[in-house]
Amino acid sequence: MEKPSTHGDHHPQGNPPRPPSFWKSRAGIYLIFALVLGGLLLGYEHRVHILGSGLLIWLPLLLCVGMHFFMHGGHGGHGGHGKGDDQ
């Protein structure tokens, strides 16, 4: 005899729903806000040291490397380039 199906125990693709991301929760948004505010206050207090050093010229290069490193994780990395199965 087959098990009767209930509406709550199956999903269209067979995968269970993923829990919501921490960064989209209320606590995550507050944490992001606090970190940004703390960074701005720290930068303001130390602006003379930051702008007076020769390290500021390397910031665009470091941003490019950082964005390349972190952004490819959201698109599946380099594995999908050039396969030609887009048709």
Q: Which two tokens stand for residue 15?
A: 């995968």
* DSSP label at residue 1: -
Residue spans of alpha helices (H) in 2-82: 26-45, 47-52, 59-71
Span 12-39, pLDDT tens digits? 667 888 888 888 899 999 999 999 999 9
CA atoms of 81 and 77, how far apart (whole Å): 9
What confidence score (pLDDT) does residue 66 get? 84
When pLDDT is averaged across residues 36-50 and rounded to a whole number, the result is 91
Burial of 50 (0-12, 13-18, 19+ CB in 10 A): middle
Q: Which two tokens stand for residue 56?
A: 């500021």
Domain boundaries, the chain: 22-72
When pLDDT is averaged across residues 57-64 and rounded to a whole number, the result is 86
When pLDDT is averaged across residues 48-56 and rounded to a whole number, the result is 82
